Amino acid sequence: MIPASFEYDRATSVDDALAKVAAGGKILAGGHSLLPLLKLRVASVDRLIDIGGLDELRGTRYLPDGGAEMGPLTTYADVIESTRISWARDAMLQIGDVQVRNRGTVGGSISHADPASDVPAVAIALGYSAVLRSSRGERTVSLDDFFLGPFETAMESDELLVNLKRGPVPEGAGGAYAKLAQPASGYAIVGVAAVVAKTGGTISHIRVGVTGLHEHAFRADTVESALLGSDGSAEAIAAAAAHVNDDAQALSDIHADAAYRAAMGVVYTRRAIETALSRAS
C-alpha cells in the first residue's frame, strides 16, 4: 500500500532536529517500525523528520565504572558487533532478519514501544535509562517507568531521545533472554530478560524485564522481590517466576490468548532466570 502524503525533512544536527520537532513532526530513525505502519495507513503523519544522518547519536561508549552509554541510532548490528555482554548479543540476533538488524535502531525500538519488541526487555534488565532532550532542557527517565502503554512512552511530543545510559552490571552477574517467538514475524509472544548475581550463596542482585506479555514492556518487581535473598534453587526460581503476572494483565490477540500468554510468561521467566544464574560466577 501507499502511505498518505506527508512532508519530509532531514535534520542536520540534534539542535536542528529539536527545532523541527518543536514545530511539529514525527521522528524517523531506522524506519523499520514506522514505515510499515504508514504504508498500511495504520498511522499517518503530517511531517517526517529524518535523523538517520546524525552520527553523533550513534555508537556505544563504556565508562570507567563499568557503565555504558549508547546512542539511540546504534543499530542492532552495531550492538552485535561491539557489545561486551554476550547474552545481549544473542538477544539482538533474535530480532528480525539481517536487513532489519542492519537498519533497525535501539533507540527507535525503545521510542516506538511496540508491546512485543525485544529491546525494551533487555534494556530494562540491564538497568538502562533514557536521556530526553527538548528546547526546555534535558531529563533522564528510567526505562522502568518509560513504557506507559502500547506505542506510548513518557517522552513528550517535543522531546528527542538523545542517549541511553546504564550503571555497571554487578561483577559476576549472569544474564539471559528467553523468548517465545511468533513464527512468521519473530516478534515476542513472550520475552523475558534477566540479570542475576549471587553472593555468599544467596541472590544479591536480580533485574527482570518482560515484553510481549502485557500491553507494554515492564520490570517484574514482584518476581525480583520473591527471589532476592533466596538460595536460587530450582524451587525458589519457580516460586518467584509464578509472580510474573501479579502486576501485569496478559494480552489476548490472534497469536495467543491471555491464559496461554500468562502461562508462558511463567515458563519463560523461569527459563531466563535459570539460564542467567547458570552463567553467574
The pLDDT value recorded for residue 22 is 87
Residue-wise pLDDT tens digits, 39-94: 888 788 888 899 999 999 999 999 999 999 999 999 999 999 999 999 999 999 99
174-279 homologous superfamily: CO dehydrogenase flavoprotein, C-terminal domain (3.30.390.50)
pLDDT tens profile 95-153? 989 999 999 999 999 999 999 999 999 999 999 999 999 999 999 999 999 999 999 99
CATH 3.30.43.10 residue ranges for the chain: 1-55
C-alpha to C-alpha distance for 180 and 57, rounded to whole angstroms: 31
Q: How far apart are CA 165 and CA 90, in angstroms?
A: 20
Q: Are 153 and 141 in contact (CB under 8 A)?
A: no
Numbered ranges of CATH 3.30.390.50 in the chain: 174-279
Residue 268 CA neighbour count, 13 Å, CB half: 26
How much is the pLDDT for 109? 95
- What does the pLDDT look like over 212-260, one tens digit per residue? 999 999 999 999 999 999 999 999 999 999 999 998 999 999 999 999 9
Query: Which of the four CATH numbers 3.40.50.1100, 3.30.9.10, 3.30.1240.10, 3.30.43.10 does domain 1-55 have?
Result: 3.30.43.10
Distance separating alpha carbons of residues 227 and 163, to the nearest angstrom: 31
In this prediction, residue 37 carries a pLDDT of 79
Local structure of 270: helix, strand or coil: helix
Residue 29: the pLDDT is: 87
To 10 degrees, the CA torsion angle through 76, 77, 81, 85? 20
State residue 46 phi and psi, 5-degree precision: -85, -30
Quick check: 205 and 187 in contact, CB under 8 A? Answer: no
pLDDT tens, position by position, 164-177: 999 999 999 999 99
Per-residue burial over 161-199, b if 16 or more Cβ lie within 10 Å, else e, is: bbbbbbeebbeebbbbbbbbbbeeeebbbbbbbbbbbbe
- pLDDT tier at 1 (50, 70, 90 boundaries)? low
Amino acid identity for residue 197 in this structure: A
